[in-house]
Amino acid sequence: MINISQSFLKEFAEYNSGDTCGLQIKAKYIDGIKFPSSDAMELGNFFEYMATGCLPRDGHTPEAKIVYKGTAKESLSADYQRAVESAELFKKIIKHYDIEIIDTGRVVTEDGMTGIMDIVAKWDDRVCIIDTKYSGLINDRWSDYGWNLDMLPEKQNLLIQPVQYKILLSKELDCDPEDIDFYFFVFSSKEVMDVKLIKIKVDELTIANHLSSVEWVKTELQRPIDKVFKAKPELKRCFECPIKDECKFKIEVPNIDEITC
């Protein structure tokens, strides 16, 4: 049995919807295989490190990309220069709102659930969790990872995090989830001054539904692992998969799909 993180819950839901491969999830969360970070993820890691001092989960120190290295023009790449400026803006926001940072990178594990909280703080005499996001989709309406405010209430893959984190910290502090606030601080990776500070309110029904979902996942994980996590090969998915070289289910030509008209 693993401790269930919000990222595992999201990927397990995607798997049950047919949108990802069970063997990838097993490799990542059960077998502990580290998957490589994308360029966007590394940029986000660098921003968070510059803003809060937090290291990524694997403990490596993010490094900026340098252009014209070894020449008189040597400098940070434009993307990483913006990340540095966004990190400075983050610090300005913290000072402006008189936010007292208590902890960064706090790992909380309670009742079979776990989470790594970017920031635990005091703000207006209330305990709060602040999660920083560095995104190229800050105003996107349609992407599952877009931060358009009108569509955000429909983005359950984004909103599962505040629910789980409020539950976890309330259990650790022995208080009610409603006594803890949750904020997303979303910074655009394209434009330094495009920032959203979003307070997420979570009602009792949402918390109850989340806990029920976690219990269902726990029950599923008690079944034999090979019955829970099955291969779902698709050409693009297999081509990009970090574990494809050892996978006997990988495909190298597309499957044939059938529809009835």
Measure the N-to-C terminal CA separation of the chain; round to a whole number of Å: 44
Please state, in angstroms and rounded to a whole number, the distance separating the CA atoms of residues 60 and 57.
8
Residue 58 has a pLDDT of: 79
- What does the pLDDT profile of the chain (261 residues) look like in tens digits? 789 999 999 999 999 999 999 999 999 999 999 898 889 999 999 999 999 998 888 778 999 999 988 898 889 999 999 999 999 999 999 999 999 999 999 999 999 999 999 999 999 999 999 999 999 999 999 999 999 999 999 999 999 999 999 999 999 999 999 999 999 999 999 999 999 999 999 999 999 999 999 999 999 999 999 999 999 999 999 999 999 999 999 999 999 999 999
Distances (CA, A) of 6 to 57, 113, 114: 14, 8, 8
Residue 99 has a pLDDT of: 98
The pTM of the full predicted model, rounded to 2 decimals, is 0.92
Residue 44 has a pLDDT of: 95
Residue 213 has a pLDDT of: 95
> Which of 94, 49, 53, 117 is closest to 197 using CA atoms?
94
Q: Looking up tokens 């798997």, which residue turns up? A: 15
Q: Are strands 126-135 and 195-199 parallel, antiparallel or unpaired?
A: unpaired
